[in-house]
Structure formats: C-alpha cells, structure tokens
C-alpha cells in the first residue's frame, strides 16, 4: 500500500476524488496510459497500475459522443483501479467524476506534463516500494564509497566513523541503518529520521555530527558498496593477507563485497578503512595488487 498523503505530497497532486481509506493498492513501480482501452480494447489491460491521462487520452475522450463516452468510461471504472491521474490541468468530464465517486476510485490532477509526471511517479514508486530492512551498524561515505561497518557492540564502529568524519568523510547513519534494495545490483542506506545525524560515543553519550562538524560532515543516503565486519583480534584465526579472493555478503538478495577486519590496540582503523575504500575503487577499475604480485612471481620463475 502507498499512503495517499505521501503520493500527493511527493508529486504535488490536487485531490479531485479522495481515497476512502487514505491508502492506494499499488504494488509495482509502473504506470498505465489507457489509450487502447478507451478505444474499446480491454485485453492485457494493466488496471492494477496508476492510470495516467495525458493530452492524447483527454483529446480522444473529447471526440466521443455522450453515449460512447459513458459506455467506455463505465467499463474502464469497472476495474479495480488504484487511482487515476489527469495531467496538464485538463478538465475532467463530469461522467468520469461521477463514476470515480460511485466506485470509490481516487482521482488526482496536476499541471505537470505527462512525460515528466510519468518519470516522477515511477521513480517515487520504485523508492517507496523497494524491499527494506534495518541492520545494526554504521554507514559512512569514504571517498565516494559507501562503507557499512558491522560488528558486535563496543567493537569500535562509532569511534572509527567519528575519526573518519574528522578526516573529512561523511556520516550517513550510526547504530541503525535502513537499507533499501534500489535494483537487482544496488543497495542504498539511510538513517531513521529520529536518530539522523546523531552518534553514540560510549563514555560521552549522544553527539550531533551535523552541529559539531558542519553540513559537509553528513549525507542523507549512500549506496552500500562494501561491508566491513569488525571483530576483536582472535589468536589462531585466519585473516586475509594477500586479497587473492573476493568475499561477498548477501543483503536483500544483493551480493556486496565483504571484508573481515581484525581489531587490536594500536591499529589505526580509520586509515585502514580509507585504504579499503581506495582499494575497492581500484579493483572496480581492473587493478589488483594481488595480480601484480602474481605477475612478478611468474616473471621471476621464468628467469630461473
């Protein structure tokens, strides 16, 4: 369900016929322009989508005689339509208003051109209907790379993020990260409204990063490009030394590059995280230090 108030506010729509429940049964990020249906062709009618009436649709309705117009619209409104949106500020035929009220189908109007509104509503629905979860962690933007820091409470996630902010990077969320699946290969993270820009530092309490470090220290949302799991150094555990293999973590069905980062006293985690972000960018551009090492070894072996 999509809240009517949210849709109207986001797209700047005028309510002509309101929703009876305040919610709209929309479950996919797409629209339908019912041109063919208005001519009487009802096969493959995507009635479950928002119905968009632009200049072409309204001009065609003006060509119909009263009896034909009533019959076509009566059939149109017999479907369980989530809503009807009329663009370009067009006048709405009285019969359309009457049938919409009778069938309790919301009708909205906007002065926006049809193509622009079509893009806006698809983008809005794609974001509003995206699968979402919340995770315990910290999300920071480091050199344009979204690092999701995870690990047990007290391992140093917030302190590391604070050091990164001091070094000129940006905080997205601390403690709780809301993660949305934007598409099949991309995740986006943000902070819940209640704790946005706030960070908890044990021994001090809550601090406001925006107020303390300025507008350049925070960002509202960021793609999640790398998951860094922080854990206290465990003797005997096996940690990556060369970076020969690429590990991933699956979140909402999307595989994200993953690093296990051991923590021990004296290690500058902020610098290590900066290096991890830079190294990911290099790998995405096709450069791997591990491949360079292998190439050198092969050359040396060939000389023997």
pLDDT, tens digit, 9 for 90 and up, residues 234-278:
776 777 766 667 889 999 999 999 999 998 877 889 999 999 999
Give me the number of domains the chain comprises: 2
Within-domain flag for 300: no
Within-domain flag for 203: yes
Active site residues: 136, 157, 175, 241
Residue 200 zone, left/alpha/beta (φ > 0; ψ -120 to 50; rest): beta
CATH number at residue 179: 3.40.50.300
Please check whether residues 245 and 286 belong to one and the same domain.
Answer: yes
Please check whether residues 137 and 286 belong to one and the same domain.
Answer: yes
Please check whether residues 138 and 110 belong to one and the same domain.
Answer: no
Within-domain flag for 123: yes
Structural domain span for residue 14: 2-128
Percent of the chain with pLDDT over 70: 98
Domain boundary among 128, 151, 185: 128
Please check whether residues 180 and 108 belong to one and the same domain.
Answer: no
Please check whether residues 25 and 148 belong to one and the same domain.
Answer: no
pTM to 2 decimal places: 0.77
Please check whether residues 83 and 185 belong to one and the same domain.
Answer: no
Percent of the chain with pLDDT over 90: 81
Q: What is the mean pLDDT of residues 61-82?
A: 96
Please check whether residues 114 and 83 belong to one and the same domain.
Answer: yes
Tokens of 248: 């991933």
Please check whether residues 122 and 136 belong to one and the same domain.
Answer: no
Q: What does the pLDDT read at residue 287? A: 80
Please check whether residues 112 and 152 belong to one and the same domain.
Answer: no
Query: Residue 76: is it exposed, middle or buried by C-beta count within 10 angstroms (0-12/13-18/19+)?
Result: buried
Which DSSP string corresponds to the chain?
A: -EEHHHHHHHHTPEEEE--SSSEE---SS--B--HHHHTT--TT--TTSPEEE-HHHHHHHHHS-HHHHHHHHHHHTTS--S-EEE-TTPPPPHHHHHHHHHHT--EEE-SS-HHHHHHHHHHHHHHHTS-EEEEEEEEEEETTEEEEEE-STTSSHHHHHHHHHHTT-EEEEEEEEEEEEEETTEEEEE--GGGTTEEEETTTEEEEHHHHH-GGGB-SEEE--EEEEEEE--TT----SS--S-EEEEETTEEEEEEEEEE-TT--HHHHHHHHHHHHHHHHTT--HHHHHHHHHHHHHHH-
Please check whether residues 176 and 52 belong to one and the same domain.
Answer: no
Please check whether residues 108 and 171 belong to one and the same domain.
Answer: no
CATH number at residue 61: 3.40.1390.20
31-48, pLDDT tens digit by residue? 999 999 999 999 999 999
């Amino acid at each position: 369900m999509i809240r009517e108030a949210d849709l109207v506010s986001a797209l700047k729509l005028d309510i002509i016929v309101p929703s009876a429940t305040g919610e709209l049964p929309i479950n996919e990020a797409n629209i339908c322009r019912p041109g063919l249906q208005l001519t009487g062709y009802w096969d493959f009618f995507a009635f479950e989508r928002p119905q968009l009436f632009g200049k072409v649709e309204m001009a065609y309705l003006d060509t119909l005689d009263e009896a034909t117009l009533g019959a076509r619209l009566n059939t149109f409104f017999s479907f369980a339509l989530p809503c009807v949106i009329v663009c370009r500020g067009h006048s709405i035929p009285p019969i359309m208003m009457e049938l919409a009220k009778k069938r309790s189908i919301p009708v909205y109007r906007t002065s926006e051109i049809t193509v622009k509104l079509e893009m806006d509503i698809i983008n809005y629905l794609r974001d509003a209907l995206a699968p979402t979860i919340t995770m315990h962690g910290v999300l920071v933007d480091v050199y344009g790379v979204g690092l999701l820091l995870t690990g047990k409470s007290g391992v140093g996630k917030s302190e590391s993020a604070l050091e990164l902010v001091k070094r000129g990077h940006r905080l997205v969320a601390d403690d709780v990260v809301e993660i949305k699946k934007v598409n099949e290969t991309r995740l986006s993270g943000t902070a819940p409204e209640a704790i946005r820009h706030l960070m908890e530092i044990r021994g001090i309490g809550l601090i406001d990063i925006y107020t303390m470090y300025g507008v350049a220290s925070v960002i509202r949302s960021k793609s999640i490009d790398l998951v860094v799991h922080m854990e206290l150094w465990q003797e005997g555990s096996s940690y990556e030394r060369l970076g020969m293999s690429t590990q991933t973590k699956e979140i909402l069905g999307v595989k994200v590059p993953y690093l296990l980062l051991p923590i021990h006293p004296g290690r500058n985690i902020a610098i290590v995280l900066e290096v991890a972000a830079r190294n990911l960018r290099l790998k995405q551009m096709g450069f791997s230090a591990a491949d360079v090492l292998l190439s050198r070894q092969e050359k040396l072996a060939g000389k023997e």
